Chain A
Amino acid sequence: MNDTRPMIEVRGARKFFGPLEVLKGIDFSVARGQIVAVIGPSGSGKSTLLRSINHLETLDGGEVWLDGVQVNQKLDRRSFERHINGVRQQMGMVFQHFNLFPHLNVAENITIAPIKLKGMAKAEARALALKMLDKVGLADKIDAFPARLSGGQKQRVAIARALAMQPKVMLFDEATSALDPELVDEVNLVMKQLASEHMTMVIVTHEMRFAAEVADRVIFMADGAVVEEGSPAEFFRNPKQERTRSFLKKFLNG
């Protein structure tokens, strides 16, 4: 295997919602084990970009590659469905609103995909769920229903659910934005731990401090384009573009 090949590569990504051009030709790549934070004002297209990576949004132009396989390749409907389901199994996604399955308990939330999609035996899947819950510090909640969990706990279960598929990359779309402030840290902690295990991650976030702490690279988007990118140190200490400066200033002033 070629270890220098990027894990995620996006080339010339364009997306329209009706007449509105939301992504105006985005290029970026994420190396194996790299952590990229995507920041930018509301409506700049961060979520759309992230969702294009696992094809929850269909690009109107450009390419997305995961580990040498084109995600948005042209295939007939049936073949594409099979292809994309396979690709998505290799990408974990964490949503702002958790999207846990409320009719399933924590164990079932985590095991349903490995059991149904990978044919894993129930006992093995439960052991896997326990291991993943251990990672996020919630082993004691294995039989609880989502309605019984706090927001922070829900998001940690959602991360465990994604991890149980042993994905090559993890995509986070404002994983902590819906949480009460005192619950943010427990989720950030789990993400930092994943970072230390060299999980490849793309993290869309509004938390500048967290981005600075965890990311190898920061990408600043505005109006559907990448305005500036760099290491957190240069990006936050010495932003080159006026647009970046005014965005960061607004953030610092609250």
Chain B
Amino acid sequence: MDIALIGRIVPVFVQAAWTTVELSLLSLALGLAVAALVAMLRLSHVAALRFAGAAYVSVFRGTPALIQIFLLYFGGPQVGIQFEPFAAGAIALGLNIAAYMAESIRGGVLSVDRGQMEAARSLGFGEGQSMRWIVLPQAAKLMIRPLGVNAVALVKGTALVATISVVELTYTAQRFIGSTYKPFEIFAVTAVLYMIMVYGLTLLIDRLDRAYAGEA
């Protein structure tokens, strides 16, 4: 074990891990926004919209995330869509996780007892009002855990964008192999840094979950 090497690379790797955090946050924001939209489609009364939502989920869950990243980054320019690696990575990861998050959101909404919507409607609330004031506040609580699982998968999945040379944690690790020939030390440090990020995220999710649970 080359302790001196570890001491040398840690500052650089922490920097790279920060890029991973930024990438995760951006794709998470995009993912949540798209997921909310797709979940709405999935829950719509209009068959065509429901179909569109289901198609989105099937396509993005039914193909490897790596291929989605390649398709956008390498295939995009061919049809006039061009992004920097970081942007391409964030967008592809965001669109991918959105398919999973949409299902988590939809699951939360569907887990709220049907009687809640009926009680709201019977008081004279419209469908949107019932959703907003009665169903969603209860669904939100039920979504936190599954969305948290999605977010953890997203953070770990960011490693994939190393393949399109986004200078994040995994890419940085690979680059150091060439100059040091110490893959054990390098990947061990890398793994520990991912674990710290995931652990931090897990703590956050726990807090959110407890904050909501305490409300009712």
B215 touching A54, Cβ below 8 Å: no
B95 → A minimal CB distance (Å): 32
Q: By the criterion of a CB under 8 Å from any partner CB, how many residues of chain A are at the interface?
A: 27
Bound CA span A116–B132, Å: 12
Q: Across the interface, which residues of A come within 8 angstroms of B127, CB to CB?
A: 81
Q: Report if A217 contacts B (CB, 8 A).
A: no
* Complex CA–CA separation, A54 to B121 (angstroms): 9
Contact of B119 among A81, A86, A101, A117 (CB under 8 A): A101
Q: A101-B116, A102-B216 are in contact. Are A91 and B133 (CB under 8 A)?
A: no
Contact B125 A91 (CB under 8 A): no
Contact A88 B124 (CB under 8 A): yes
Contact across chains for B216 and A113 when beta carbons are under 8 A apart: no
Interface residues of A in 59-111 (CB under 8 A from B): 81, 85-86, 88-89, 91-93, 95, 97, 99-103
Find B129's partner among A56, A86, A89, A116 (CB 8 Å cutoff).
A116
Interface flag for B134 (CB, 8 Å): yes
A95 and B121 contact, CB distance less than 8 A: no
Does B22 make an interface contact (CB < 8 A)? no
Closest to A90 in B: B124
**Per-residue CB proximity of B185-216 to A under 8 Å, as 1/0?**
00000000000000000000000000000011
Size category of the binding interface on chain B: 20 to 34
Give Cα A24–Cα B118 distance, bound, in whole angstroms: 24
Contacts of A161 in B (CB 8 A): 123
Residue among B120, B123, B134 with the most chain A CB within 10 A? B123
Which residues 113-163 in A have Cβ within 8 Å of B in the complex? 113, 116-117, 145, 147, 158, 161-162
Residue of B nearest to A147 (CB): B216
Binary contact readout B89-109 vs A (1 if CB under 8 angstroms, 0 otherwise): 000000000000000000000
Which residues of B line the A interface, CB within 8 A? Answer: 113, 115-116, 118-127, 129, 133-134, 137-138, 141, 215-216
Given A95-B115, A117-B123, 13 new contacts (CB under 8 A): A56-B121, A86-B124, A88-B121, A88-B122, A91-B122, A92-B122, A93-B122, A101-B116, A103-B138, A103-B216, A113-B123, A162-B122, A165-B123
